[in-house]
């Protein structure tokens, strides 16, 4: 069933677990992710990053296919725009039927971030769509010019949530997007997570879950993170499965990719102790 994230996050907060937000790159991966959720009987957030839209997947494609498979599932499925970079993109996703959007104005000033987020919140509220925002900055390992994370403070998180009205908040506590250099597991600031968790009741989101270490992510889920974004590990698993299969035809290759992605997602459901 297609839902927004509000009730799912309430349950996650009460149960001290996290829900995976599994990013997709094409229409096939939408089916793969929903298939795992259906098999396990667990909720899922299908993440569609604005940066990944293009020839393989348009916003319209994602809305059409995402809604189809979410509606057909017997488990709750959220269709989420990840890292929407403009108010216009968020509004378009809402109009197409996405049930959750992230407006990422984290690189703007605090005041600009609040104002931009509020505009999206006001538009989304009328259509019962959830809004995620971000404060602080999760650095990207894919961009050599983006090396410095800006940790979220509890004071700013509390003030931002109160002023913006966002439904969930992505915070920066030590993770990064992409593949960690030298395969190092990041040092997550659990003290900072505890401070932010104590300062606001708004569900908290962790970006850059891939490669962050199962123990770290399990602890994050238990100590206040309600949603963890997974992208890189899903597609590294797909490539590894494809290589191991030594597939000699297209359908065998597709089957290997599917197996790798689904095995990785199942693993993270276990790590997050999703219920």
DSSP labels for 194-218?
HHHHHH--S-EEE---TTS-HHHHH
How far are the Cα atoms of 29, 56, 98, 175 from residue 146, in angstroms, in the given order? 28, 26, 29, 13
Give, to the nearest 10 degrees, the angle between helix 27-40 and helix 250-272: 50
Q: Which residues are annotated as catalytic?
A: 82
Is residue 48 within 8 A of residue 24, CB to CB? The reply is yes
Other CB atoms within a 10 A radius of the CB of residue 261 amount to 26
Angle between helices 59-72 and 87-96 (to 10 degrees): 40
For residue 103, what are the β-bridge partners?
A: 84, 133
Question: Scanning the structure block, which residue is given the tokens 């089916």?
Answer: 31
**How far is the CA of 26 from the CAs of 13, 109, 156, 207, in angstroms?**
31, 33, 36, 20
What 3-state class would DSSP assign to 179? coil
Helices vs. strands in the chain: H and E counts, helices first: 10, 8
């Amino acid at each position: 069933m297609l839902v927004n994230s509000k009730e799912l996050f309430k349950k996650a907060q009460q149960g001290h677990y996290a829900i995976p937000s599994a990013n997709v790159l094409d229409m096939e991966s939408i089916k793969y992710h929903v298939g795992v959720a259906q098999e396990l009987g667990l909720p899922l957030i299908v993440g569609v990053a604005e940066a990944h839209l293009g020839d393989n997947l348009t916003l319209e494609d994602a809305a059409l296919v995402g809604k189809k498979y979410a509606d057909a599932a017997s488990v709750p499925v959220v269709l989420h725009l990840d890292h929407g970079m403009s108010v216009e993109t968020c509004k378009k996703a809402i109009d197409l039927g996405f049930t959750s959007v992230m407006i990422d104005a984290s690189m703007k000033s605090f005041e600009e971030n609040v104002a931009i987020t509020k505009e999206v919140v006001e538009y989304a509220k009328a259509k019962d769509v959830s809004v995620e925002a971000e404060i602080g900055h999760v650095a990207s390992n894919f961009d050599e010019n983006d090396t410095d994370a800006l940790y979220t403070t509890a004071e700013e998180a509390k003030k931002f949530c109160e002023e913006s009205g966002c439904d969930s908040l992505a915070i920066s506590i030590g993770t990064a997007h992409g593949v960690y250099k030298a395969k190092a597991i990041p040092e997550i600031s659990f003290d900072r997570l505890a401070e932010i968790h104590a300062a606001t009741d708004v569900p908290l989101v962790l970006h850059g879950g891939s490669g962050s270490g199962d123990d770290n992510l399990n602890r994050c889920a238990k100590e206040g993170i309600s949603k963890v974004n997974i992208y890189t590990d899903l597609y590294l698993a797909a490539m590894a499965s494809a290589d191991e299969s030594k597939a000699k035809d297209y359908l065998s290759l597709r089957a290997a990719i599917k197996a790798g992605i689904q095995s990785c997602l199942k693993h993270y459901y276990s790590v997050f102790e999703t219920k």
